[in-house]
Structure 1
Amino acid sequence: MDVNVVEQANNLMRILAIIIFLGIVLTKISKRINIPDVVLYIAAGIIVGPAVLNIIDFSEFGVINQVILAFGAAYILFDGGREIAINVLNEVKVTIGLLATVGVLISTVVTGFFAWQIFHIDFIYALLLGAVIASTDPSVLVPLFKRMNISPKLKQTIIAESAFNDAAGAIITFAIVGIAAGGSFSVGGSLLDLLKTAGGGILVGAIVGYIGNRLVCEGKFGVCRGFTAEMAIAAVLGAYVISDLIGVSGFMAAFTVGMVSGNKSIFKLSAMEGSDEAHEQFKDVTISLVRMLIFMLLGVQMNLEIISQYWGESLIVILAFVFLARPISVLLTVPFDRKAKWNIREIAYLCWTRETGVIPAALAGMLITMKIPNAELISAVTSMAIIITLTFQASTAKYLAKVLKLEVKPKIKVQ
């Protein structure tokens, strides 16, 4: 065997051991000091990464980094999908549709305008910056709101939006890249791409999710009973890969697999006794591990030199992003959903809830790889947006729900 391969494998195992151990310690600390664990993961990644102590350097593991990002985000979305009750989702489908499409576009334009004025870059690249950070982060929002006792309508709107707006954010980002490269923009064509990407992902996820659950449930087709957790991972991976091959949203597909899994009764699927409980324990451990990996590696790979160069201007853009772009996006979309009957307190809460995370980070990384002009600047602003929104918005989500009197008594979940 190649000596270099053995050395790389040993180095990778050393890195994983350090990350998991630090993750365990930081998770315990976060519960004591009431700061979101992901903020501590990012900070630890910066400290142990090349920028400070240089204990961990992940630059030679590009493929593995991409696998962690893609699978981690997909599996977290699967977990979010399991939390969605289809009957509740039906009540707020207009809100989710508007926030995940029109809302993302509004946020892109508002943030892009401020970036254009402050950084004095071409407007097309300012719009690109706005598009990259426009989508919210399921890897933070799903675990955060699973633990919060707010109304199912509000909770599931926030979780579902974080899944659906990833597709819109990515489509707008690459549409702008195409325009910057000399292409043309078509509203109709972009809407068609969005419908194809999101709708295709839903279709793939529904088919794969149904087949996977049918194989592990009671009945004559349940030939894989007893392997619910293993089948879930296979279904998530399979749905993601199939979606990628045919050019639709793998993240949407993973989310839909979770929705099928969490709504078995609607699909007339009967789980084997005890299988869901065992799956839940396995899933919680897996989610914990992938979150440690995603956010600590994000910290390891942050470019502090670029951040220090543009921190002042970036801060102004991010403040406009949080206090103007998101509220405007919500106020111009959510009130139009009369069926959902949103009250002013719920609308105010939606204005504040828009944490940035792994998908914007991945998009920023892709722009650097593609050598897009101003990609380093976009990456710097994205990194700061992640740190600021996770530190201030995620950490205050529970407190704000209490202030706005949105907390409800927990109910026993019936599968």
Structure 2
Amino acid sequence: MDVQIVHEIFFMASLIFFGGMVGGAIAQKFELPDVVLYLLVGILLGPYGMNVLNVANGSLTVKLILTVGTSFILYLGGREVKIRVIKRVWVTIFLLSTIGVLISTFIVGYTSHLLLGIPFSIALLLGAIISPTDPATLVPIFKQYKIKKKVAQTVSSESAFNDAVGSVLFFTFLNVITSGHLSLEHSFVLFLKDTSFGIGIGLLIGIFGTVLISQSDYGFLKNFSPIMSIFVAITSYLVAESLGGSGFMASFVSGMVCGNKVYIGMKCNLENRKVQETVNETTGLILRMMIFIVLGTMIDFNIIFNHFWINLFIIFIFMFVARPLTIFTSTLPDGRADWHWNEMLFMCWVRETGVMPAALTGMLMGMNIPYLSHIVGIAFMTIIITLLVQATTTNIVADKLGLIDK
């Protein structure tokens, strides 16, 4: 039996890697975001396609892929946040990642509560799932199309920050639902504890890892910097979760520390840094490929088509009411950033949903959560629609608004 399980895992990995490479090649040829093709490959190989790749929802394999993949992608998202660049727009990023996430969560939650009759606490859980944007989608797009740096850094930083904040909000609501104790004060205490522990652990392990690969007297592991990235991302998650904090927040913050090592005065060998970046990008690509292909196999179209039009209307409200309100609430008060209308309109359109909602939805699989089918249906529909509609048109919208850096 053990040998059979090993063979099944090998077969699954082989299909994912080959399908991912083919999908990636097609994405490059037609200049599409690779995650869109990975998702389609998963659907094609899964139960609603060729039915050759069946991954049990809630299985240990799925949870491992989602947890490790999400924590490392959040770590990479943290590395993309350049402190010297975001100094000018930090107020906007802070508002987008806090007030903005709360606005989206509340609007989605309240709309779902009214239209589907979902209890408000569960509706807020749904809102927390789909509110984070996706660095795994946005960062490669911005590298490919050279969106103007100010806008690209703001949206990339927002996507990384609000993934971390959204994950904390998700686990706060999940704790409230499973404990049956709905209290604003209790929820706030949980949120504050998860966030503060996550930030603290992320800072400590990020600094620890950075020192060990620096050119200081303590940098005796400087030749192992690529492995250090993986160690820091996973260890910060594990330690934070063990101590009752947010592991995803810890992975993100540790990535911020490691990505700004030069800025904080930690000098590293240039050649080692280049190798580290190459390994990070390759590892991130593999994990992104695995997450979205597995996600594609998990999509249940029977659930999606149940309440289809109501779900679609909720997503419409999410995209065209919650997102613009989030952007204008976060950018207009920030006079220092000097935002222009074309920049704000672009940010209203760019809000792809991907890795974090996929991971959080996958974690709910197998749990006895009321109205789980509603959550899964709307989450999957949001991922599919935002990837197919918004991710594929990001460069077109940026060009029309004059935001491509020629």
Question: Which TM bucket (shorter chain)?
Answer: over 0.9
- State how far apart, in whole Å, the 2-side matches of 1:321 and 1:297 are: 25
What pairs up with 1:139-178 in 2 under 5 angstroms? 139-177=136-174
1:83-162 superposed matches below 5 A:
83-162=80-159
What is the aligned counterpart of 1:326 among 323, 326, 329?
323
Q: Note if contact 2:57-2:366 (Cα within 8 Å) is conserved in structure 1.
A: no
Residue in 1 that maps onto 2:373: 376
Q: Which residue type is aligned with residue 183 of structure 1?
A: H
When the two structures are superposed, what TM-score results if normalisation uses the length of structure 2? Answer: 0.93
Q: Percent identity?
A: 38
- Per the TM alignment, residue 193 of structure 1 is displaced from its structure 2 partner at its CA by 3.6
Go from structure 1 to structure 2 and tell me whether the alpha carbon gap of 1:129 and 1:236 turns closer, same or farther (over 3 Å shift): closer
Greater Cα offset, 267-276 or 59-68? 59-68
Q: Distance in 2 between matches of 1:72 and 1:277?
A: 22
2:183 matches 1:185: yes
- Alpha-carbon deviations, 1:256-275, whole Å to 9, x = none? 22222222222222212410
Deviations 1:146-175 (A, max 9, x none): 334233332222122222223432344444
- Select the residue among 261, 273, 276 that pairs with 1:276: 273
Partner of 2:191: 194
Please name the residue that 2:244 is paired with: 247
**Alignment-derived partner of residue 12 in structure 2:** 15
CA contact (8 A) 2:47 2:53 kept: yes
**CA pair 340-101 structure 1, distance change in 2 beyond 3 A:** same
- Structure 1 runs not aligned, ≥5 long: 410-415
Query: Which of 386, 390, 395 matches 2:387?
Result: 390
> Residue 348 of structure 1 aligns to which amino acid in structure 2?
L
Secondary structure of the structure 2 residue equivalent to 1:274: helix
Q: Is the 8 A contact 1:42 1:295 kept in 2?
A: yes
| Count of residue pairs the alignment pairs up | 405
User: How large is the RMSD of aligned CA atoms in angstroms?
Assistant: 2.1
| Residues in 1 aligned to 2:177 and 2:221: alpha-carbon distance in whole angstroms | 50
Match for residue 236 of structure 1?
233
Q: 1:175 to 1:79 in 2, by over 3 A?
A: closer
The aligned counterpart of 1:28 is 25
Of 310, 314, 326 in structure 2, the residue corresponding to residue 313 of structure 1 is 310
Q: Which of 309-318 and 16-25 deviates more?
A: 309-318
With over 3 angstroms needed to count, the CA separation of the structure-2 counterparts of 1:9 and 1:180, relative to structure 1, is closer
> How far apart are 1:60 and its partner, in Å?
8.1
- Which residue among 52, 55, 60 is the counterpart of 1:55? 52
Q: Is the Cα–Cα contact under 8 Å of residues 78 and 252 in structure 2 kept in the other structure?
A: yes
Kept in 2, the 8 Å contact 1:140–1:357? The answer is yes
The 8 Å contact of residues 58 and 362 in structure 2, kept in 1 or not, is answered as: no
Query: Does the C-alpha gap of structure 1 residues 221 and 267 become closer, same or farther in structure 2, counting only changes over 3 Å?
Result: same
Secondary structure at 1:369 match in 2: coil
Q: Is the 8 A contact 1:178 1:184 kept in 2?
A: no
TM-score (structure 1 length as normaliser): 0.91
